[in-house]
Amino acid sequence: MEIRRDSYLQQLISYRFDGLVKVITGIRRCGKSYLLKKIYRDYLMENGVKEEQIITIELDLAKDIKFRNPLLLSSHVREMVKHKPEEYYLFVDEIQMSDEVANPYNPDGMKITFYDALNDLRSLDNLDVYVTGSNSRMLSTDILTEFRGRSDEIRVHPLSFAEYYSAVGGEKNEAFDEYAFYGGMPLILSRPNDAAKMNYLKSLFTEVYLRDIVERKKTERQDVLELITDFLCSSVGSLTNPAKIADTLNSKQMKGVSPNTVRAYIGHLEDAFLFSESRRYDIKGKSYFESPNKYYCEDIGLRNARIGFRQQEMTHIMENIIYNELTGRQFAVDVGVVYARVTNQNGNSVRSPREIDFVVSSGGKRTYIQSVYAMPTEEKEEAELRPFALTGDSFPKIVVRKDIGKRWYDDKGILNISLIDFLLDKDLI
């Protein structure tokens, strides 16, 4: 079964031999190694690169364990490529397994790390360097911080629905139902039955992601971290903040959980690529609110597994999938806030906030999107579309719906499009 990941392949191609280290980041088990060692390798060899020009070092395997020493890694690769006329490609998988070693010229000074080795190798004109890694010592953007402008990041996500469908085929609605339940972690496609898929997703959270965070961050309250994870999974697409979460946890007799602790633990989950925050943006005021904001899970299957495959409300699942689709297309995504004038119970005219699910930005271009399961009545339609009219601008406006087939524009120029159509049309925005 072939899984197409064309957008990431094109990024790798565009960064080829640009003089920077290519750092492939993302949640564990989302397909980073497959992208590099299978998809990109095949592309290079189909375009004239010989097998011996691709140097692959897998630090998680015994055959390459000696190269965990960054000095040996650098020396070995230099010896292979120096004074050679050909161009070489270096793939280092699981770079976080590299060791820190003493500086042989200054044993009491700072230790030598893989950052030093990679910065040394990137200076070779005939070598293009690529690395992957994302476990307890490299969960997030640490490596990008260390390189300080000397690297390109390729952020890899779990499979989009388009990528998933390219592999499974069949009837689109049936494929989407599976995707909305089990998500897009690539190994899901090879699990033999429903029980195996559920167990795999559950184990990723407990045995991989949360364990990595606890080890890396030396988390003192793993019970609190897990409850925060459960809260965020249960409330995807809902406004919340650390104070509200702390109050909820303390009401469950946790005791002593402060908003600062919650804020720090949410930061750990974001660093691990498990969740993303979408901030509220005042469209007319052109400013961000401090709180509350929304959080979305990186993969809907992981979210479902964490809460025992309960709470299968399509409204929330649909919103999370659309958010992931937009961020996977490298858009900046905010929650839009506009205001309507309403009369309160005292007869006074007051400003009342209205929400646009997604304000999607790329450069100077902006698009407004509402995620709507269905609009069966005029009242529902008015409630969902009213915020668009309050923006006071002419940026494109889209309603993504689960209850329609063909797309169409209404008399106000708003595009109505089915969810599946939206997910499969990468050129829509």
Find which of 14-18, 97-101, 343-347 is predicted with most confidence, using mean pLDDT.
14-18
Return the SS3 of 124.
Answer: coil
Query: What average pLDDT score do residues 156-164 get?
Result: 97
- Cβ(184)–Cβ(204) below 8 Å: no
- Helix, strand, coil percentages (3-state) for the chain, rounded to 5, are 45, 20, 35
The contacts of residue 51 (CB under 8 Å, 6+ apart) are 45
Kindly state the percentage of the chain with pLDDT values over 90: 79
Residue pLDDT, tens place only, 210-227? 998 898 888 989 999 999
pLDDT digits (tens, 9 = 90+) for 20-74: 999 898 898 999 999 999 999 999 999 999 999 999 999 989 999 999 999 999 9
**Bridge partners of 287?**
282
User: Mapped to the 3 state alphabet, what secondary structure does 302-350 carry?
Assistant: HHHHHCCCCCCCHHHHHHHHHHHHHHHCCCEEEEEEEEEEEECCCCCEE
What would the pLDDT profile of 332-351 be if each residue is shown by its tens digit? 999 999 999 888 788 888 88
Predicted pLDDT of residue 409: 97
Helices (H) and strands (E) counted in the chain, each on its own, are 17, 15
Local confidence band at 145 (pLDDT 50, 70, 90 cut-offs): low
Q: Greatest CA span in the chain, whole angstroms? A: 83
Q: Report yes or no: 302 and 183 within 8 Å, Cβ to Cβ.
A: yes
Query: pTM for the whole thing?
Result: 0.92
Report pLDDT for 147: 63
pLDDT for 380 beyond 60: yes
Does the pLDDT at position 294 exceed 50? yes
Confidence of residue 143 (pLDDT cuts 50, 70, 90): low
Fold assignment, 6-155? Rossmann fold (3.40.50)
Strands (E), 116-243: 127-132, 151-155
Q: 225-277: per-residue pLDDT in tens?
A: 999 999 999 999 999 999 999 999 999 877 889 999 999 999 999 988 899 99
Flag whether pLDDT at 399 surpasses 80: yes
Instruction: Compute the distance between CA of residue 3 and CA of residue 315 in angstroms, rounded to an integer.
Output: 28
Contact 398, 413 (CB under 8 A): no
User: Mean pLDDT across the stretch 136-141?
Assistant: 45
Domain residues of the chain, as ranges? 6-155, 160-429
* Contact (Cβ atoms closer than 8 angstroms) between residue 392 and residue 286: no
- The pLDDT of residue 144 is 57
- For residue 387, say if its preceding peptide bond is cis, omega within 30 degrees of 0: no
Instruction: Please give the Cα distance from 264 to 262 (Å, whole number).
Output: 5
pLDDT at 191 over 60: yes
